C-alpha cells in the first residue's frame, strides 16, 4: 500500500509541475483540445494498460523516465481486474499553463465506472495519468 501511495504522489507531482504516444498500436499524439480525440484515446489507453502494453513515445520524457516497468505491471494487474470499458465521457477538463487536463469516466462492462485523470502538453504528449477514483490523487 505504501508503494502504491508513493507512485500516486509521484504521478500527482507530474500533474502539478509544468513539464516540457501510449500503447501498442502506436496511437499518434492526440489533439489535446479535441474532446472526441481524448475520449477515443482514453478507451484505447485503458485497454492497453490492462494488457501492460505501453508506448512510452506517447509520453513526455519526464513521465516515461518516472513510470517504472514495475509500476506499469502493478497498474495493469489492478485495472485488468475491472474488465473492459465499454464507453466513456469527459466529466471535467481545464487548461493550466501549457497543459490540458481531463477527467474521463470510463464505464465498465461489469456495470460500474472508474475515473481517469490524464494530462497532455500542447504537443499531445501525456504529462501524467492517475485514477482518482482509486485513491490515486
Encode pLDDT of 4-61 as tens digits: 433 443 344 333 333 333 333 444 455 656 778 899 999 999 999 999 998 899 999 9
Please give the full DSSP string across 66-95, using - where no structure is assigned. Answer: HS-HHHHHHHHHHHHTT--EEEEEEEEEEE
Q: Domain range holding 8?
A: 2-134
pLDDT above 90 for 126: yes
pTM, two decimals, is: 0.73
Check: CB of residue 124 under 8 Å from CB of residue 30.
yes
Encode pLDDT of 75-86 as tens digits: 999 999 999 999
Q: What is the domain count for the chain?
A: 1
The CATH number covering residue 27 comes to 3.10.450.590
As a whole number of angstroms, the distance between CA 31 and CA 26 comes to 15
Report pLDDT for 135: 56
Amino acid at each position: 500500500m505504501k508503494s502504491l501511495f508513493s507512485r500516486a504522489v509521484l504521478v500527482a507531482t507530474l500533474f502539478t509541475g509544468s513539464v516540457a504516444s501510449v500503447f501498442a498500436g502506436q496511437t499518434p499524439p492526440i489533439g489535446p483540445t479535441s474532446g472526441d480525440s481524448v475520449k477515443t484515446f482514453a478507451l484505447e489507453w485503458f485497454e492497453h494498460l490492462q494488457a501492460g502494453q505501453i508506448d512510452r513515445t506517447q509520453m513526455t520524457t519526464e513521465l516515461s523516465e518516472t513510470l517504472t516497468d514495475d509500476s506499469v505491471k502493478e497498474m495493469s494487474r489492478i485495472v485488468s481486474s475491472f474488465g473492459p470499458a465499454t464507453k466513456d465521457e469527459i466529466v471535467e477538463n481545464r487548461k493550466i499553463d501549457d497543459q490540458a487536463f481531463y477527467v474521463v469516466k470510463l464505464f465498465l462492462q461489469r456495470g460500474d465506472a472508474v475515473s481517469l485523470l490524464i494530462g497532455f502538453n500542447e504537443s499531445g504528449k501525456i504529462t501524467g495519468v492517475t485514477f482518482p477514483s482509486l485513491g490515486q490523487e
